[in-house]
């Protein structure tokens, strides 16, 4: 655990950080329908342990590594397209039409690190980049390098907002969010000015939405972006634009499941279509609800959330099961079926080998659930955020910080039963480069999820070594948190400084934590038992510096099973400990044993052990399982059942998020029960 001296140093560093970082990534301070409000980006930092290590990886490897990639031209062009458009270099446009949006996500992540590091060199570099973007922006506020550069070409048909697949509104939506975060961190208006000009352009274009303009609602990052810009500026036109954007979805003719515009949003009750587009839509609708309280937004969000969590979400939090398909497949209403890709499938359709689970979709699910939590204060939404962060989000990046997954399967075998488009090994670049910069901003901003405030309480959402320095009811409060979570369920939260007013400390008890306990100042039963509680336990008192609370969250190893309607997981088990989902990877099998040979006894005894030399330091689960002799199925689809002989073998299970960090391998989250 973190030493008292290092925690004290963290508070000194925090006090000197940028004063502008007093608002969170989602600022609901003035949102009339928010139950809780995030603390500022500069008010909390990871100090030790799991998330401190991930933030340091982001700062030291992910941000500079991605800066080099995005400034270069080896794989594609990101920043270079802006430089061409600004007249600083010569060249032709190159890369995907959504590269601008990916570059803005990276700038957001880089900006977020400044709230912790106050890195003068990074801030100077951001200022240089922002100046180039400003120079590239058209006089009317429009900015999209792909369209603008192609417009310069002879015989080009490129024109603003002519083709939805140019992703212009998506790109500018990411710009609005990135500029809002940059302003909150630095207090500078240079990026914000660009965003306001772009927003004003969009406000003018979408004054009178048409069915053709409604088609621009593709992958709607702009919903979140325009609401966040409204929160920064207080400009009512931006909130009105957000309302028009949501409403104009109903104008789409012959819509599709793929883009969630097959039926009006108010009538939707299940998640369907492209999972990134869907989750951005749901997050944006939740943002608008926080500002308006529109029940026509909240009703479908509640139904869709229940559908996702109880019928369409992987045990890792992964979203978007299908590479390709039809939605809803098998429906009697053939007239409504449309092609889908990278999408939610039907209820309980959760394949493992072909699981798509795009990293952006998993991040989008966290963004959506975060906003649902801000609107309600209900722990079930934070349970999903935590599940995502520890599993299907972090699986997207290697421990070196420079290699990435686009898709996140739950099973990989050798040989694979089919050829799949996306690599089963992390790579430095994929043609759809949206996920890596999304990971940068998510990890850079991860501390912002740890705490929130209400009128007279501080809520602890995520457990991890951290320091918080904030204000509540006009009084300065400092808290420190020391823990080895998620490897250990013991957490100590200490009051480092406070005023004289009574306030509540609300401690999250995850839904998996049966038998949790809370103690105040090491006095037995002083804070009451939290057994069976799923949500938050509150301690309300007049606090004094030096007071501390211990939270104990039991972390037994649990064998999990899926609803029998999930055909791929029938008679199989997965393994979970605390918030971490585990998998079996081939480097941890004896020679000659393949993943497909393994069977898990339901009474398996798995011992949790921290291995500081493996995969950056993780808790592994050691145990003995059954393995049958390898069999040759080549050239056979069926055969008569053969007698099976099993031997006992020693294996270890590793966290799913760190698989495939030791080279090409087999892996599975779900494994057959012994006897089936």
- Tell me, what's the pLDDT at 563? 98
Quote the CA–CA distance of 143 and 197 in Å, as a whole number.
9
- Tell me which residue has tokens 């996306």: 422
Rounded to whole angstroms, the Cα distance separating 646 from 368 reads 46
Does residue 272 share a domain with residue 241?
A: no
Instruction: Please tell me whether residues 302 and 433 are part of one structural domain.
Output: yes
pLDDT digits (tens, 9 = 90+) for 500-549: 999 999 999 999 999 999 999 998 766 655 544 569 999 999 999 999 99
Q: Are residues 303 and 434 in the same domain?
A: yes
Give the mean pLDDT of 274-278: 97
Would you say residue 490 has pLDDT above 80?
yes
Average pLDDT, the chain: 93
Same domain, 438 and 298: yes
pLDDT of 624 strictly over 80: yes
Nearest to 379 by CA among 508, 544, 519: 508
Q: Examine the fold and report which residue of 500, 527, 552 is the final residue of a domain before the chain moves on.
A: 552
Tokens (6 digits) for 29: 């301070």
Sign, CA torsion 466/179/287/279: negative
State whether 442 and 461 are in the same domain.
no
Residue 267 belongs to some domain of the structure:
yes
On whether residue 16 sits in a domain, the answer given is no
29 within a domain of the structure (yes/no): no
**In this structure, are 246 and 261 located in the same domain?**
no
Residue 13 is predicted with a pLDDT of 39
Question: What's the mean pLDDT in 399-425?
Answer: 92
- Considering 11-15, 330-334, 434-438, the range whose residues carry the highest mean pLDDT is 434-438
Assign 3-class secondary structure to 533-593.
CCEEEEEEEECCCCCEEEEECCCCEEEECCCCCCHHHCCEEEEEECCEEEEEEHHHCCCCC
Q: How many residues does the chain have?
A: 676
Q: Does residue 156 share a domain with residue 227?
A: yes
Is residue 522 assigned to a domain? yes
Assigned domain for 11 exists: no
**pLDDT for the residue 6:** 46
- The radius of gyration of the chain's CA atoms, rounded to the nearest angstrom, is 25
| Domain extent for 582 | 558-672
Kindly state the tokens that stand for 660.
């495939």
Q: How confident is the model at residue 19 (pLDDT cuts 50, 70, 90)?
A: very low
pLDDT of residue 11: 44
**Residue at a domain's end among 386, 414, 449:** 449
Q: Could you say which of 415, 449, 483 is where a domain stops?
A: 449
Cα of first residue to Cα of last residue in the chain, in angstroms, is 43
pLDDT score of 650 more than 60: yes
**pLDDT for residue 526:** 64
CB neighbour burial string for 343-364, b if at least 16 within 10 angstroms, e if fewer = bbbbbbbbbbbbbbbbbbbbbb
| pLDDT at position 374 | 98
Q: Which of the four pLDDT bands, split at 50, 70 and 90, describes residue 16?
A: very low
436-449 pLDDT tens trace: 999 999 999 999 99
User: Can you spell out the DSSP letters for 101-165?
Assistant: HHHHHHHHHHHHHHHHH--HHHHHHHHHHHHHHHHHS-TTS---HHHHHHHTSTT----TTS-GG
Clarify whether residues 539 and 576 are in a common domain: no
436 and 318 in a single domain? The answer is yes
Helix intervals (H) in 249-344: 275-292, 295-307
State residue 676's pLDDT score: 62
**pLDDT tens digits, 107-124:** 999 999 999 999 999 999
Question: Is there a contact between 222 and 202 (Cβ–Cβ < 8 Å)?
Answer: yes
Establish if 79 belongs to a structural domain: yes
% of the chain beyond a pLDDT of 70 = 95
In angstroms, the CA 644 to CA 273 distance is: 42
The arithmetic mean of pLDDT across residues 261-284, rounded, is: 96
Q: To which H or E segment does residue 672 belong?
A: strand 671-672
The 10s digit of each residue's pLDDT in 69-86 is 999 999 999 999 999 999
Per-residue confidence band for 15, with pLDDT thresholds at 50, 70 and 90: very low
Instruction: Verify that 389 and 424 share a domain, yes or no.
Output: yes
In this prediction, residue 156 carries a pLDDT of 82
Predicted pLDDT at 65: 97
Q: How confident is the model at residue 331 (pLDDT cuts 50, 70, 90)?
A: confident
- Inform me whether the pLDDT recorded for 376 exceeds 80: yes
Q: Is residue 85 assigned to a domain?
A: yes
H or E segment and range at residue 470: strand 465-472
How many domains is the chain partitioned into structurally? 4
**pLDDT above 60: residue 3:** no
Q: Which two tokens stand for residue 393?
A: 């989000």
Alpha-carbon span 62 to 28, nearest angstrom:
29
> Is 542 found in the same domain as 573?
no
Both 237 and 115 in one domain: the answer is yes
Residue 24 lies in a domain: no
């Amino acid at each position: 655990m973190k030493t008292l001296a290092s925690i004290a140093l963290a508070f000194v560093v925090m006090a000197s950080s940028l004063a502008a970082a007093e608002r969170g990534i989602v600022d609901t301070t003035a949102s009339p329908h928010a139950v809780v409000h995030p603390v500022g980006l500069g008010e909390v930092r990871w100090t030790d342990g799991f998330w401190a290590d991930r933030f340091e990886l982001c700062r030291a490897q992910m941000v500079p590594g991605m800066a080099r990639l995005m400034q270069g031209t080896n794989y594609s062009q990101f920043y270079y397209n802006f430089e061409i458009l600004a007249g600083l270099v010569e060249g032709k446009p190159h890369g995907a039409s959504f590269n601008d949006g990916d570059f803005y996500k990276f700038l957001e992540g880089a900006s977020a690190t400044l709230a912790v590091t106050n890195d003068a060199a990074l801030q100077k570099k951001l200022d240089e980049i922002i100046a180039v973007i400003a120079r590239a922006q058209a006089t009317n506020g429009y900015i999209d390098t792909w369209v603008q550069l192609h417009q310069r070409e002879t015989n080009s048909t490129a024109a603003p907002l002519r083709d939805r697949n140019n992703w212009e509104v998506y790109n500018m939506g990411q710009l609005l969010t990135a500029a809002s975060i940059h302003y909150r961190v630095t207090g500078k208006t240079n990026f914000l000015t660009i965003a306001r000009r772009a927003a004003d352009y969009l406000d003018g274009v979408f004054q009178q939405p048409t069915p053709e303009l409604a088609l621009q609602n593709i992958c709607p990052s702009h919903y979140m972006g325009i609401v966040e810009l409204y929160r920064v500026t207080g400009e009512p036109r931006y909130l009105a634009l957000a309302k028009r954007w949501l409403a104009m979805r109903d104008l789409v003719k012959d819509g599709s499941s793929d883009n969630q515009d097959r039926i009006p949003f108010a009538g939707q009750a299940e998640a369907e279509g492209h999972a990134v587009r869907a989750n951005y839509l749901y997050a944006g609708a939740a943002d608008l609800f926080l500002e308006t309280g529109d029940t026509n937004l909240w009703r479908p969000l509640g139904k869709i959330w229940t559908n996702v969590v109880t019928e369409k979400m992987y045990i890792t939090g992964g979203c978007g099961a299908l590479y390709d398909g039809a939605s809803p497949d098998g429906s009697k209403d053939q007239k409504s079926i449309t092609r889908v890709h990278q999408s939610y499938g039907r209820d309980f359709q959760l394949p493992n080998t072909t699981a798509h689970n795009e990293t952006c979709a998993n991040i989008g699910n966290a963004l959506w659930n975060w906003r649902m939590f801000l609107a309600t204060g209900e722990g079930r939404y934070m349970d999903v955020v935590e599940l995502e962060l520890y599993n299907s989000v972090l699986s997207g990046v290697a421990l070196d910080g420079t290699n990435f997954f686009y898709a996140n399967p739950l099973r990989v075998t050798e040989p694979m039963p089919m050829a799949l488009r996306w690599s089963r090994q992390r790579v430095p670049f994929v043609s759809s480069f949206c996920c890596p910069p999304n990971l940068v901003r998510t990890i850079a901003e991860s501390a912002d999820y740890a705490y929130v405030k209400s009128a007279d309480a501080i809520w602890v959402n995520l457990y991890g070594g951290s320091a918080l320095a904030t204000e509540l009811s006009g009084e300065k409060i400092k808290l420190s948190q020391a823990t080895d979570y998620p490897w250990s369920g013991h957490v100590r939260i200490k009051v480092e400084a406070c005023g004289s007013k009574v306030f509540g400390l609300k401690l999250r008890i995850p839904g998996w934590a049966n038998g949790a306990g809370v103690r105040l100042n090491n006095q037995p039963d002083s804070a009451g038992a939290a057994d069976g509680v799923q949500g938050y336990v509150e301690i309300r008192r007049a606090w004094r510096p030096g007071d501390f609370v211990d939270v104990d969250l039991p972390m037994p190893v649990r064998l999990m099973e899926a609803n029998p309607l999930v055909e791929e997981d029938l008679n199989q088990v997965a393994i979970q400990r605390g918030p971490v989902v585990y998998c079996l990877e081939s480097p941890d099998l004896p020679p000659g044993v393949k993943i497909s040979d393994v069977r898990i006894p339901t009474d398996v005894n798995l011992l949790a052990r921290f291995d500081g030399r493996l995969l950056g330091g993780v808790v592994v689960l050691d145990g003995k399982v059954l393995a049958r002799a390898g069999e040759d199925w080549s050239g056979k689809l069926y055969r008569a059942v053969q007698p099976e002989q099993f031997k006992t073998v020693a294996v270890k299970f590793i966290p799913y998020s760190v698989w495939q960090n030791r080279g090409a391998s087999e892996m599975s989250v779900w494994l057959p029960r012994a006897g089936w």
